[in-house]
Amino acid sequence: MWRRTLSRCSKIDTLPSGRYEIQISPIRFLGFTLKKRHTRHVDMTIKNGAKKPTKSRGGRPSKRDYILEQAEQLVLDKGAAQLTFDALTETTGISKGGLLYHFESKEALIMSMLERYAGQRERRIAQVLEDGNGLYGCDQDLKAILLAEISESKERLVLDSAILAAVANNPELLAPIRERNAELWQRLDMAKAGSIRARIAWKAAMGHRLLLQFGLLHETPEQSEAFATELLALLEPVAGSDADDSVFG
């Protein structure tokens, strides 16, 4: 359909929103010349097989976001193995064709879930940084990342496990996460306390998160607070040490 439509377009302009404005030239139809110029706005922004998220009128979540929310809930309730289009059709009431309109494959759906998940984590970090609770000294952006990792809710930790299980059969889907981690390593290497101490702090935070995620760590609020205090102290420069002397530099 699009091939036939685009073949008679006189002009295609890219709008700031990433959409395309298609202006159709006058054409012959059943012996008559249609002189009226038609303009059609089409959202053709696609990333990794999934259409760009949009919001419906009134500020409510779009159908695409609704599908992603239900997909998350499905893996939380029944496990990653049950994440299928048939199961989503049952939970959302949207036909399989409707689901495929937004996500052309299960891989595209999982990729969008990962991107949504990563975006939620970034917003969580931004919120911790904005609140400023427990943040002091230098490299407060890194400290906000550590605090966000070790203070995640139980529900989000469960979702962590579910999404990782969903991508287990196709590790290539973790490419966006690897890219973000590579950027984080570069930022850690610029820490004023030195890259060794910064990387130790990050690995300790992730170890703490994984222990909580798999139910292997039970601690009191006082113990959690003490751990956070000592963790952030690793990002403070030590007098007399050479922070630039690092095997990672």
Condensed to tens digits (0 to 9), the pLDDT of residues 65-116 reads 999 999 988 988 888 888 899 999 999 999 999 999 999 998 899 888 888 8
What is the CATH T-level fold of the domain 50-233, as seen in this structure? Tetracycline Repressor; domain 2 (1.10.357)
Distance set, CA 149 to CA 77, 85, 87 (Å): 23, 32, 31
CA–CA dist 191, 246 (Å, integer)? 11
Q: What band does 134 get if pLDDT is binned at 50, 70 and 90? A: confident
**Model's pTM, two decimal places?**
0.64
The answer on pLDDT for 37 being more than 50 is no
Q: Which tokens belong to 45?
A: 């922004």
Question: Domain segments of the chain: what residues?
Answer: 2-44, 50-233
pLDDT band at 59 (very low <50, low <70, confident <90, very high): low
- In whole angstroms, what is the distance from residue 53 CA to residue 205 CA? 32
Distance CA 203, CA 206 (A): 5
Give the confidence band of 61 by pLDDT, cuts at 50, 70, 90: low
pLDDT at 162: 79
For the stretch 14-31, pLDDT in tens is 444 444 333 334 433 333
- As to burial, measured by CB atoms within 10 angstroms (0-12 exposed, 13-18 middle, 19+ buried), residue 104 is middle
Instruction: Give the Cα separation of 37 and 45 in Å (integer).
Output: 24
Q: Which residues contact 132 (CB under 8 A, 6 or more apart)?
A: 140
Confidence of residue 10 (pLDDT cuts 50, 70, 90): very low
Q: Identify which has the larger pLDDT, 165 or 138.
A: 138
Strand spans (E) along the chain: 9-14, 20-24, 27-29, 32-34, 38-42, 46-47, 50-51
Q: How large a percentage of the chain has pLDDT more than 70? A: 71
Higher-confidence residue: 204 or 24?
Answer: 204
Residues 6 or more apart whose CB falls under 8 angstroms from that of 67 comprise 88, 92, 94, 99, 102, 103, 109
d(CA 96, CA 85): 6
